Structure formats: structure tokens, C-alpha cells
């Protein structure tokens, strides 16, 4: 089993001062929590300060997005090298908010996955169905396509750098968590799909996180599922105490 990972996606919810304070609290509280990879994903503008705040601790830093080109005329965008330079280890790619609010398509997300790995970052590739797709019985087809297209031309060696996050869109920020059994069913399907693409051993070692209204009250039950290897936490990661309680549940 892979080591479990709990990542906090702060989205566009922290100022610089709030981000540094939150990061320092997680750093101090995480000291005694072993066996879990902890990642904080603040807004881009706070990445460097958060990386400095957690330097020397086990807490890692991730970005919420990046561009697929390395340099050039791409107003408003940020490259993998820039993220590395300020202390990022991870980068979230294909988050449902990027897909559905900003129109990111599979081909773009796939380019980002390649660029992140080439740039020495570890991508957290998000997949997940919309409510209507679930109700229409399309969940597996949607997830399979997102995996196939998002990971197109990503070979076995590169794939070792990738974490998958299953984030059902209907559970994000809604307070409606997927039932542990629902999450497990999709996670098992993701692992089976990875096995088809990459073989059994890589599929077994791949880390598959769940995200969508995870909180201290439901974390343990979700993490007990055999194919849930960690959590990608939004709202509850904005409160240091709650985030640390979730990390504790993963340990």
C-alpha cells in the first residue's frame, strides 16, 4: 500500500498573511504525525512564503494549477520551473473547477501532466463526474475517459510520479460527501483502469486520493476503504485544527 497523503487545497481563500499563519499551524501540529505525506496548496502568490514557513518540516507544498509551456508570451500563467523555484513539490492538475469554470479540456490537462513531470513536479491529477453524469449511469465511462486522455502518452516511469484524486463534482463544496462505499467503488474502478493501462504492480502502488467535502467527521471512514489512499481537502483544510484532525485520521 502506498503511504497515505492528505493535501489541503486552499483554492482562492487565503491572503498571504492567512496562508502563512495556517501553514505555520500545520507545520507545528504535524510534527508528531508520522506516516502521512502532508501537502499544502495555497494560491500561487503565497507559495514561496508557505514553502519558507514549512521548510525543514515534513510538510510539502503544491500549486493548484500551472501552464504547460516552459516560458513565453502567456500572460497570467505560471510554469513548472517557476513553481519548483519557489519550493513546490506537487501540482494539482485538472481540478473540476479548472475543467468546468475555466474550460480546461483533456488535451490541455494532458499537456500539463507531461510538463509537470518533465519539470520535476509531482502531479495530482483530478478526475470526477458531474451529478447528471452519475445519475445517467455514466460515472465509470467519464472516469475512464479522463484517465485515458489525461494520461495519454504518460509511460510507466512517468506514471510513478502521478497521484490520482477522485473528486466527484457533486461532492465538492456541497457538504455532500460520497458515501465511503461509493468512493470505494470508484477508487477500485480507477485502480482497475490503471492496471489495464500500466499493469498490476504500478496500479497497486498508485496513490488514489478522495476529495469532496472530506472533514474530521468522515475522514476515518473514507480512509478505511481499501482503495482510498488519502484525501484532497478543500473547505476543511482552511481550519488548521480540522486539517490536522484529518491528517491524524490518515496516520
Neighbour count for residue 186 (Cβ, 10 Å): 23
Contact status: 230 vs ligand 13P (CB under 6 A)? no
The closest of 3, 86, 19 to 237, measured between CA atoms, is 19
Per-residue interface string for the shown chain with ligand 13P, residues 49-88, x marking contact by CB under 6 A? ----------------------------------------
Express the helix, strand and coil content of the chain in percent, nearest 5 each: 50, 15, 35
Q: Is residue 116 classed as helix, strand or coil in its secondary structure?
A: helix
Q: Does 222 bind ligand 13P (CB under 6 A)?
A: no
- Minimum CB separation of residue 172 from ligand 13P in Å reads 4
Q: Which of 233, 246, 247, 249 binds ligand 13P (CB under 6 A)?
A: 233
Catalytic residue among 95, 97, 104, 129: 95
- How far is the C-alpha of 23 from the C-alpha of 27, rounded, in Å? 6
Count the site residues for ligand 13P by CB under 6 A.
Answer: 14
Q: Residue 163, interface with ligand 13P (CB under 6 A)?
A: no
The interface with ligand 13P within residues 7-26 (CB under 6 A) comprises 9
Residues 234, 240, 243, 249: which binds ligand 13P (CB under 6 A)? Answer: 234
Is 199 a binding residue for ligand 13P by CB under 6 A? The answer is no
Residue 157 known to be catalytic: no
Residue 209 in contact with ligand 13P, rule: CB under 6 A: no
DSSP assignment string, 136-196? TT-HHHHHHHHHHHHTTT--HHHHTT-EEEE--GGGTTSS-PPPHHHHHHHHHHHHHHHHH
Q: Minimal distance in Å, beta carbon 227 to ligand 13P?
A: 18
Length of the chain, please?
Answer: 251
Three-class HEC string of 13-39: CCCHHHHHHHHHHHHHHHCCCCCEEEE
Buried b (16+ CB within 10 A) or exposed e, 198-229: beeebbeebbbbbbbbbbbebbeebbebebbb
C-beta of residue 162 within 8 angstroms of C-beta of residue 202: no
**Residue 167 annotated in active site:** yes
Nearest approach in angstroms of CB 92 to ligand 13P is: 7
The verdict on 235 binding ligand 13P (CB under 6 A) reads: yes
Binding of ligand 13P by 232 (CB under 6 A): yes
| 212 near ligand 13P, rule: CB under 6 A | yes
211 binds ligand 13P per the rule CB under 6 A: yes
Q: Which residues are catalytic?
A: 95, 167
- Residues in contact with ligand 13P by CB under 6 A are 9, 95, 167, 172-173, 211-214, 232-236
Amino acid at each position: 500500500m502506498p503511504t497515505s497523503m492528505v493535501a489541503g487545497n486552499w483554492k482562492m481563500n487565503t491572503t498571504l498573511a492567512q496562508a502563512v499563519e495556517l501553514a505555520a499551524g500545520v507545520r507545528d501540529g504535524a510534527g508528531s504525525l508520522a506516516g502521512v505525506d502532508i501537502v499544502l496548496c495555497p494560491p500561487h502568490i503565497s507559495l514561496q512564503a508557505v514553502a519558507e514557513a514549512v521548510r525543514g518540516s515534513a510538510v510539502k507544498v503544491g500549486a493548484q494549477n500551472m501552464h504547460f509551456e516552459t516560458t513565453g508570451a502567456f500572460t497570467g500563467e505560471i510554469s513548472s520551473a517557476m513553481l519548483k523555484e519557489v519550493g513546490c513539490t506537487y501540482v494539482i492538475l485538472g481540478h473540476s473547477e479548472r475543467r468546468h469554470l475555466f474550460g480546461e479540456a483533456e488535451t490541455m490537462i494532458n499537456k500539463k501532466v507531461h510538463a509537470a513531470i518533465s519539470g520535476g513536479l509531482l502531479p495530482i491529477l483530478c478526475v470526477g463526474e458531474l451529478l447528471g453524469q452519475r445519475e445517467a449511469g455514466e460515472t465509470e465511462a467519464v472516469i475512464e475517459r479522463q484517465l485515458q486522455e489525461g494520461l495519454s502518452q504518460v509511460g510507466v516511469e512517468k506514471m510513478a510520479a502521478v497521484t490520482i484524486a477522485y473528486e466527484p463534482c457533486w461532492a465538492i463544496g456541497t457538504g455532500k460527501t460520497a458515501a465511503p462505499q461509493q468512493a470505494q467503488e470508484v477508487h477500485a474502478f480507477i485502480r482497475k483502469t490503471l492496471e489495464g493501462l500500466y499493469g498490476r504492480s504500478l496500479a497497486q502502488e498508485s496513490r488514489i486520493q478522495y476529495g469532496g467535502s472530506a472533514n474530521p467527521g468522515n475522514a476515518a471512514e473514507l480512509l478505511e476503504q481499501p482503495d482510498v489512499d488519502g484525501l484532497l481537502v478543500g473547505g476543511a483544510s482552511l481550519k488548521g485544527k480540522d486539517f490536522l484532525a484529518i491528517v491524524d485520521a490518515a496516520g
